Structure 1
Amino acid sequence: MHVVTTQSGLGRIEDGAVALLDTAYPHVGAVLAEEGSLRSLASRTVRRRIPLDTATLMAPLGRPRAVWGVGLNYTSKAARTGRALPGEPILYLAASSGVAAPGARVVIPGTATEPDYEGEIAVVVGRRLYQAAEADIWPAIAAVTAANDMTARDVMRTTGIPALAKSYPGFTPIGPSLRTPDDLPDRDAIRVRTRVNGTLLQDDTSAGMIFPIPDLLSRLSWFAALEPGDVVLTGTPAGTGQDRACFLADGDEVRVEVDGVLPLVTRVVRPPDALAHDHRLTEPVS
């Protein structure tokens, strides 16, 4: 099942259109908090259908309770940077206030001189996971989507704190659509691609992960309980701006493509210094 949150309500994507559903839930995150899965959306009555290209797509999960991430989780990234493979995942928790709606303009603050993109596969938790075995992970995942885990590389370098480098308003675009895992052709080799201004710069699959999705979430769940609607960003492959010493600039467009879901497009704005800290320029998450 392929679902979206639109300005007109929740919908399933069917035959190039959005089938708007008869439900009072404001977004998919609310469905997961209440029901723990998206299964009920498959049988909801369709109120009406609208063309996909005319729908205004919103942040599919609203504002998640928690957004977890992992550093250096692709062998291609380790090879490009010359770093040894980690023995344990490098985990962090980013501020959920950094989540941006699909298509939003993301304002780069004046204090971030090396803003970077990170195309990633995001997994959305459906059922509570705590001290879970790997075999328990996929049955508890409600959906997969795309994410752009933006990072201020200079802030990361000077502070050593991922949460600070990744939590600026708008630095975590997620969406725009969600796909249930049983609808993926190969959940062990999900492809992720990133294009900047149309140029393909990242291209890999989850088969190249150092800690595959079941292993990653199982390890995380031994330290923190993952609740319905929580998002886990699963790492980025080689090809980031850091790898090329080329960072995002005013007017750049980043497009993250993940198997099975709609492309996630982010537009970067670098305002004059006087507006650098005006967070109103970043479109809010509903």
Structure 2
Amino acid sequence: MHVVMTSAGIGRIEDGAVAVLDAPYPDPNTVIETTGSLDALGGAKVVRRIPLDGDELDLRAPLGRPRALWGVGLNYHSKAERTGRPAPDEPVLYLAGSSSVSAPGAAVRLPAEETVQMDYEAEIAVVIGRTLDRAAESEAWSAVAAITAANDMTARDVMKRTGTPALAKSFPGFTPLGASLLARDAIADPDAIGVRSWVGDERRQDSSSADMIFAIPELLARISRYAALRPGDVVLTGTPAGTGQDRDDFLRPGDTVRIEVDGVLPLTTHVRA
């Protein structure tokens, strides 16, 4: 199932259109928190259809404000090689403020008083559907409800100055999520999910989850050793080489970043002064 949140309500993507549903939930994340998956939307009545390429479609953040927003640093071999750092033995984990989440198409302010190194990071975001508490790697993937695209924006100079990922990543709007959710059952192989980024018309990143140092099931299992993952929690799974940090070329007002993750709608973010 492929799900979006629109100004008209929750919708399923079907035959080039959004089928807006008569569903008793404010957003898809509430469906996941309540039922553990998106399956409850499968039989919901369709009340209207909006063309995907029409002007009527107004996409909103499909996950609202997740209760927990986990991230991992240096989780692609290509990124480690580009930076000259060894692959870590343990994932480098952090929590970001959920107030940083923004909607597809949002204009995110460059906080110039704090940073001159605003960076983009194309990532596969995983939405938890069932509690994972000291889970085995073999059971972790079955606890996933859906995936989506994320732009894990980072103020690199703030990271260096403070040593605190949460501060470098929690500015308002710095975590765009969306534009749609793809249910786990629609994903053939969690180790073959493509992820790409563009700044303007230039492709900057192009990789897949096959290059991850800690594959998605292993990453979730490792987090769950120390902190229980609950339904609706979101885990950002790292970014491949090609970020602004790698190129010494950071975002500027007027830039547009597009993130693509296989199976979901593109996630676009605009940078404003």
What TM-score, normalized to structure 2? 0.97
Is 1:264 aligned with 2:267?
yes
2:148 is matched with which residue: 139, 145, 160? Answer: 145
* Mapping of residues 69-218 of structure 1, within 5 Å: 69-110=71-112, 111-218=114-221
Please give the alpha-carbon distance, in whole angstroms, between the structure 1 residues aligned to 2:232 and 2:52. Answer: 24
Match of 1:49 in 2: 49
Instruction: Report the residue type matching 1:254 in the other structure.
Output: V
Please give the alpha-carbon distance, in whole angstroms, between the structure 1 residues aligned to 2:260 and 2:155. Answer: 22
What's the CA shift for 1:268? 0.4
Please give the alpha-carbon distance, in whole angstroms, between the structure 2 residues aligned to 1:134 and 1:46. Answer: 38
Question: Which 5+ residue runs of structure 2 have no aligned equivalent?
Answer: none
Question: Which 5+ residue runs of structure 1 have no aligned equivalent?
Answer: 271-286
Please give the alpha-carbon distance, in whole angstroms, between the structure 2 residues aligned to 1:42 and 1:174. Answer: 22
* Mapping of residues 1-20 of structure 1, within 5 Å: 1-20=1-20
The answer to whether the 8 Å contact 2:77/2:213 transfers is yes
Please give the alpha-carbon distance, in whole angstroms, between the structure 1 residues aligned to 2:52 and 2:134. Answer: 40
Match of 1:31 in 2: 31
The answer to whether the 8 Å contact 2:127/2:233 transfers is yes
Instruction: Report the residue type matching 1:102 in the other structure.
Output: P
- Aligned alpha-carbon RMSD (Å): 0.8
What's the CA shift for 1:216? 0.2
SS in 2 for 1:218: helix
Match of 2:244 in 1: 241
Could you list the per-position Cα deviations for residues 134-182 of structure 1 after superposition, in whole angstroms to 9, with x for gaps in the alignment? 1111111000100000000000011111000000000000001000122
Please give the alpha-carbon distance, in whole angstroms, between the structure 1 residues aligned to 2:132 and 2:189. Answer: 23
SS in 1 for 2:173: coil
Instruction: Report the residue type matching 1:6 in the other structure.
Output: T
Please give the alpha-carbon distance, in whole angstroms, between the structure 1 residues aligned to 2:191 and 2:212. Answer: 10
The answer to whether the 8 Å contact 2:190/2:216 transfers is no
Please give the alpha-carbon distance, in whole angstroms, between the structure 2 residues aligned to 1:52 and 1:225. Answer: 37
Q: Which runs of 4+ in 1 moved over 6 A?
A: none
What TM-score, normalized to structure 1? 0.93
